[in-house]
Structure formats: C-alpha cells, structure tokens
C-alpha cells in the first residue's frame, strides 16, 4: 500500500494523515460508492474520496485510530483487492494477446447464445435440466457464478445493493423453480456483462493510464561531472539532470546548458516541438526530440506540472454533473421498481419464468455507467490536448453556457510587450536592425529586451558578440557592436541626427518605442505594445455559433484602451474594473438565469473565475496557483482551444443523453417483453449485456476527440 504524508495545509488537520490506496476490482460507479461506504465505516476516518478512473482511494484519517491494516481489511471485506504494488504493463506487448482473447471470448459468447436459443426452441434444455439433480445443478451454478455472486454477498453484508443484485435474484428464482440450466446460462451472461463493464471502464480510464506511464522511472543525475542513473524518487530539487535525444524529461526544471527541440504535447497539447535553451523551462513527461540539455531540477514527482495534470484528471470524477447525480440517485430506486414489476408480473400471470425474466433483463449498472463513462472519456481525451477539466459538472455547465466574460491583459492580449513594427532608416534592412538591437539587448534585464530577443528568435536571426555593455536607468543601454557604438533607448537617451518624420508618425499609436543609433546616427525604431492574440476574433466568432449569445470584455485599463480593443473585437466592454467589480458582473448575469463562462489568466482574476459557473484559466503550464484556481485550465495560451472545449462539452452531453435514453428505453421494453412472456429468462440474460455494449460503443467516440 502506498502511504501518503500528514496534511500540513492547516492547523486543524495537522493531526490527520492522508492514505493513498490502490484498489482492484472496481468496474462501475456503484463499485466506487460501495468502497467509499466501507472505508467511511472505519472509526477514525474523517473523509474518503474514491476515484474509479484512477483505481484508488484517498483517505484522511486519524493515524492513532487507523492504519494500513484497517484500510486493507475494509476494502477486502467489501469484495475488492488492495495490491501490494502497482505493476505498470507494457501496452504494446500485450495488445496482440488482448485482441486474440477478445476474439475468442466473442466466439464463446456466440456459441453459448446459439446453444441457449436453439436449445430452448427444441426443448433440449428442458430435457438436460431433468437429467441432473436440482441440488447438483445449484452447486454447478454457484461455482460458475461465484466471482460475481461473491460481490453480491459482500454488498448485502454491508447493507448495500449493487448492479448484479437484481440478476442474482433472477438466478435464485430460477433455482427455486428447478430451472438450473436457465440459472447457469443467466450466470454465464452475468459473467459476460461483468467483463463488458470492466472493459468499458478500462477503456474510459485508458487515457489516464497512458498519462501515468509517461514519466520515466529513472533519471541521469550529474554529480561532480559523473553521470549516475538513479530512481526518480531519489532526484532532489537542485540536482542537475542530463536528458539526451529521444529521452523523456523526468522532472520540471530550468535548462542550465545545451539546446534542444522538445515535444511538449503531453503537457501543453502543442503538436510542434519547442526550442529550449539556457534559461528555458522544461516539464516532466515531455520528450527531447533533438539535441541534449542539462536541467536544474525545480520540481519532482507529484509536484511537477505533469503531476498536477494527472491529479486533476483523477479528481475530475469527484465533481459530478447534475445529470450524473440524477443517474446515481435513480440507480438507488431502480431495484424497488424492478421488484415491483416482477411482483406484478407474477400476480397477473402466475408465470414464474416470466417473473425471473423481468429480474434478469433489468440493467441498473447501465444506468449508473451511462454518464461517468462518457465524462471520464472526455476528461481523459481533453487532457491529451492540454485541456484540464476538473469534473463532469463543468462539462455540463459549459454545454449550457450562454454568456462569456473575458479578461483583457494576459487573456485577450499577451500580457507582455511584443515588437509590432521594425522601421529601419539610413540604408539598414529590418533584419540588420533587429540583429543589432537584439545583440545589445541580450545583456539587458529590461522588460522590452525580452520582446526584442523573442522576435529575433522567431525570425531565426543569430546574435553577435558585443563588448563594453553599459546601462543607464530610465534611459537605455549601449555597447560596442562590430567596432561601433550602438545605443538603444528612449528619445532623451538617443542623440538623433536624421529626419524625425518616422517618430512623429508613431505618436498617436500608443506604443512604446525603442530608438536605435549607431555612432550617434539614428538607424531605426522598434515599436512595442501589448498586442491582441491573433486567433481571438476567429475564436469568438466560433463561440457565437456554439450558443454563446453574449460576450463582454472586462478590464482594469482605462476607457480609451478598453474602447479600442472592444471595437476590434466588436463586443461590449467595461473599463476600470477592480476584482470585486468583475464578481458583480458575474452575479448580475447569474441573477438573470444565465450560465457564465469567465476566461482569465488564473491569478488576478481568481475571484471572478471561482464565482463563474465555469472559470477557464489560460496558459497555466508551470503555475500551481492558476491550475488550482480555475475549473478548467488550458496548458497553453491558445484561444482556439476555447471553442474546442465548448465542442467537447456539447458532444459529451449529447452522448450522455443518448446513453441514458437508450438505457431507459431498453429497460422499459425489456421488462415489458419479459412480463408478457415474450422474452424468456435465457434471452433476457443475453440481452442485459446490450446496454453496456451500446454505452461502450457510443462513449468510445469521445476518446478520440
């Protein structure tokens, strides 16, 4: 068992200890509720959360009253297992074997179904039933169905009901009336249904499993110039880790030396590799495609950005949507309804086989699976694209959203200066001016220096070596560049000996200017501003087509800046907004019955993000605060992801509604046919697996979003 550490987040919980426990055998939502009930019954347990997709439970307990043995015993008494260690299997090595097993399993099911149908029709099953003593037949049924029946007995001992309880009543009913062959076939299809449910859940949690296997188990640490391959658990903050071409980055850190192209799709969802160099941040679970780097470790294990991603995906099922909560509650009332239908069937028909068939055909597990399977599939698939959704209720709210509130700085705009214009004079080209300026700015710590260097990198311009660098606060910088004195700064700092018409033409644009001179002769101007992200207008247009009826820009900037940006986006705006003002806007729309989505940077917009029905934080890779604040986190700064989120939400809710509708219609039709004697128990047993297969097939479409 994997034991956690005491929670030190506040003084009230300092005496509690967190246990993180792997659990085997959970197949559906009812299983997780069963485990949670068993754990919460332990004296000293304060809170329990069971994660079906992650196959684990997180328990907060008093360590003086609860230990690992208590937890293990409770889980095992509920009918589930606690493995000593979690063995990660190589999916590629077992894929062919898995496919062959599924084909063989399908053939067995088809053969048994054919025997059951034709045997029932030709009377063979009745003759076979009479050849075996009922007691021996009951023993055969008990042995064949023990793996499933055991779960039912454990559930009953805990005074809870699971999906297989209803069908088990059908098995006992068949045995009571002497139809052990019918009971045996029902048990067989119970096992089939159990397998399908396990496969359905495993398919939904496959994205999460793929995530958890992406971080390497070892790292190459440099100590005193010597390479040492050590377990990832032994890597500490500050250690220097060497990553070569083709290797996966094992930690979060900052590049100390080297240069590489890194595939960051596992964290940000970005499909193209990103160039990293000295000072760049790299993240665990990303892959070095070309080059090699030495990285100074800043975070390891669960504290890495990727660790936060995995934890958010695991915890997503704790935030259930309204429709999922409804389905869970309905499952609790399902058994009494089925028992009532069976009782009425016997009262009016006096047909015990029809009564058994009513019990057998009912599919409560399908109702419980209809919503969480779709939600888990969407949350896991979205995570692969850098979209972290904290739970099903936010998917449902996003599908209903009709108002979008947008922060400006860092959300609509980049939140930092970018070079917008390069205006060379006196015979220089734009590239020559940029190379000269960036070479000098490479030694500066000014905010505009990074903007200049960023532009040079985008244009693949190599920088030159400089000497005699100096800086004048409030003025600019100068250095010796290829034998001449180059100065970069404001107008007061630069001595100008050329036409000022270029400068005068920029006066009304509201941008920050960098003047560049060479040997006291003006050679160009670089124009910088906090610019709008180019993909924003197209994204807003797409959102209007996805049901977002109203949009509004909220900014703390002045009226003129807000008006200019609002005009570009063609949406209303509010200027001079404080954080509390943004909350009032959210509340104003909510009071009118609207569902609100707030998009911000996840830090200074935290109150409004939390108040909105769905708060979306942009570009939060590496930011703990932003990931914890928002309901949905975008790992990269790309507005095209937001329409994609809305599309995922609409598609997911469509699948959920289809799952629930099909399951409801199937149960109503199946119970009706069984009650009238049209659907015999054998065929009812075979039919009860149909909703699980339908839900799997329908929900699997969401895995490939």
Pairing outcome for strands 287-299 and 45-51: unpaired
Computed on alpha carbons and rounded to an integer, the radius of gyration of the chain in Å comes to 32
- Cα 699 vs. chain centroid, distance in angstroms? 16
Question: What would the two tokens of residue 166 be?
Answer: 């209803």
In 10 A of CB 50, how many CB atoms? 27
Return d(Cα 147, Cα 150) in angstroms, integer.
5
For residue 291, the cross-strand partners are 260
Token representation of residue 268: 């940000």
CA distance 404 to 394: 14
Strand 287-299 versus strand 476-481 pairing type: unpaired
17: three-class secondary structure by DSSP: strand
In the three-class reduction of DSSP (H, G, I as helix; E, B as strand; rest coil), residue 83 is classed as: coil
Catalytic residue among 263, 407, 601, 638: 407
Cα(64)–Cα(41) distance, integer angstroms:
16
Q: How many CB atoms lie within 10 A of CB 349?
A: 14
Q: Are strands 274-276 and 226-231 parallel, antiparallel or unpaired?
A: unpaired
Alpha carbons 594 and 580: distance in angstroms, whole number:
19
Query: What does the DSSP assignment read for 93-161?
Result: HHHHHHHHHHHHHHHHHHHHHHHHHHHHHHTHHHHHHHHS-HHHHHHHHHHHHHHHHHHHHHHHHTT--
407 is catalytic: yes
**Checking DSSP bridges between strand 218-223 and strand 240-243, what pairing results, if any?**
antiparallel
CA–CA separation, 618 and 482 (whole Å): 42
Please, what's the b/e burial string for 199-229 (b: 16 or more CB within 10 A of its CB; e: otherwise)? bbbebbbbbbbebbebbbeebbbeeeeeeee
Strand partners, 227: 222
Q: In angstroms, rounded to a whole number, what is the distance separating the alpha carbons of residues 201 and 624?
A: 30
Instruction: Name the nearest CA neighbour of 61 among 20, 10, 2, 11.
Output: 20
Q: What is the DSSP letter of 668?
A: H
Q: Are strands 240-243 and 252-263 parallel, antiparallel or unpaired?
A: unpaired
Q: What is the DSSP letter of 28?
A: S
Q: What are phi and psi of 523, to 5 degrees?
A: -115, -5
What's the rounded Cα separation, in Å, for the pair 41 and 661?
35
Q: Return the active site residues.
A: 407
């Amino acid at each position: 068992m994997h034991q956690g550490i005491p929670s030190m987040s506040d003084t009230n919980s300092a005496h509690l200890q967190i246990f993180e426990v792997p659990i085997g055998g959970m197949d559906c939502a009812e299983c997780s509720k069963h485990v949670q009930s068993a754990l919460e019954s332990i004296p000293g347990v304060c809170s329990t959360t069971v994660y079906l997709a992650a196959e684990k439970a997180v328990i907060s307990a008093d360590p003086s009253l609860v230990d690992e043995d208590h937890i293990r015993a409770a889980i095992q008494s509920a009918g589930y297992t606690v493995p000593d260690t979690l063995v990660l299997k190589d999916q590629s090595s077992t894929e062919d074997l898995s496919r062959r097993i599924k084909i063989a399993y399908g053939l067995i099911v088809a053969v048994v179904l054919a025997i059951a149908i034709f045997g029932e029709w030709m009377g063979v099953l009745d003759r076979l039933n009479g050849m075996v003593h009922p007691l021996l037949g009951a023993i055969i049924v008990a042995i064949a169905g023990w793996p499933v029946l055991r779960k039912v007995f454990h559930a009953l001992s805990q005074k809870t009901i699971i999906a297989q309880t209803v069908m088990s009543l059908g098995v006992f009913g068949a045995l009571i009336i002497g139809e052990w062959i019918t009971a045996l076939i029902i048990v067989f299809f119970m096992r089939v249904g159990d397998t399908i449910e396990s496969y359905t859940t495993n398919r939904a949690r496959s994205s999460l499993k793929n995530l958890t296997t992406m971080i390497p188990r070892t790292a190459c640490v440099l100590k005193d110039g010597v390479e040492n391959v050590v377990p990832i658990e032994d890597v500490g903050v500050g250690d220097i880790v060497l990553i070569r071409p083709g290797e996966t980055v094992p930690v979060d850190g900052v590049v100390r030396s080297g240069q590489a192209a890194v595939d960051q799709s596992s964290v940000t969802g970005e499909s193209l590799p990103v160039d990293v160099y000295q000072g760049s941040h790299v993240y665990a679970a990303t892959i070095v495609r070309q080059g090699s780097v030495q990285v100074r470790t800043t975070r390891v294990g669960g504290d890495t950005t990727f660790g936060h991603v995995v934890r958010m995906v695991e915890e997503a099922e704790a935030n259930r949507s309204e429709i999922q909560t409804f389905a869970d509650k309905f499952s609790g009332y399902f058994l009494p309804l089925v028992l009532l239908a069976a009782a009425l069937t016997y009262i009016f028909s006096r047909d015990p086989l029809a009564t058994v068939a009513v019990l057998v055909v009912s599919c409560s597990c399908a109702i419980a699976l209809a919503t969480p399977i779709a939600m888990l599939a969407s949350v896991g698939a979205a995570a692969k694209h850098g979209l972290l959704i904290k739970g099903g209720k936010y998917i449902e709210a996003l599908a209903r959203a009709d108002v979008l509130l947008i922060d400006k700085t860092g959300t609509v705009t980049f939140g930092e200066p970018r070079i917008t214009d390069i205006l060379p004079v006196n015979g220089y080209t734009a590239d020559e001016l940029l190379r000269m300026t960036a070479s000098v700015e490479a030694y500066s710590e000014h905010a505009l220096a990074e903007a200049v260097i960023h532009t040079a990198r985008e244009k693949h311009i190599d920088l030159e070596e400089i000497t005699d660098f100096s800086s004048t606060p409030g003025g600019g910088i100068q250095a010796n560049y290829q034998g001449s004195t180059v100065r970069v700064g404001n107008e007061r700092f630069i001595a100008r000996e050329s036409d000022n018409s270029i400068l005068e033409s920029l006066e009304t644009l509201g941008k920050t200017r960098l003047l560049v001179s060479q040997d006291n002769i003006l050679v160009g101007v670089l124009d910088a501003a906090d610019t709008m992200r180019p993909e924003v207008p197209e994204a807003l247009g797409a959102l209007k087509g996805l049901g977002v009826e109203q949009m509004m820009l909220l900014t703390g900037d002045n009226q003129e800046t807000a008006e200019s940006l609002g005009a570009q986006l063609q949406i209303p705006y509010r200027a001079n907004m404080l954080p509390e003002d943004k909350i009032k806007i959210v509340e104003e729309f909510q009071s009118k019955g609207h569902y609100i989505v707030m998009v911000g940077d996840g830090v200074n917009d935290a109150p409004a993000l939390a108040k909105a029905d769905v708060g979306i934080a942009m570009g939060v890779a590496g930011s703990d605060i932003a990931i914890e604040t928002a309901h949905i986190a975008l790992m990269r700064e790309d507005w095209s992801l937001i329409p994609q989120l809305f599309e995922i939400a609409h598609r997911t809710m469509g699948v959920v509604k289809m799952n629930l509708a099909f399951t409801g219609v199937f149960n109503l039709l199946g119970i009706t046919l069984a009650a009238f004697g049209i659907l015999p128990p054998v065929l009812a047993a075979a039919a009860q697996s149909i909703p699980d297969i339908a839900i799997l097939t329908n929900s699997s479409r969401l895995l490939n979003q």
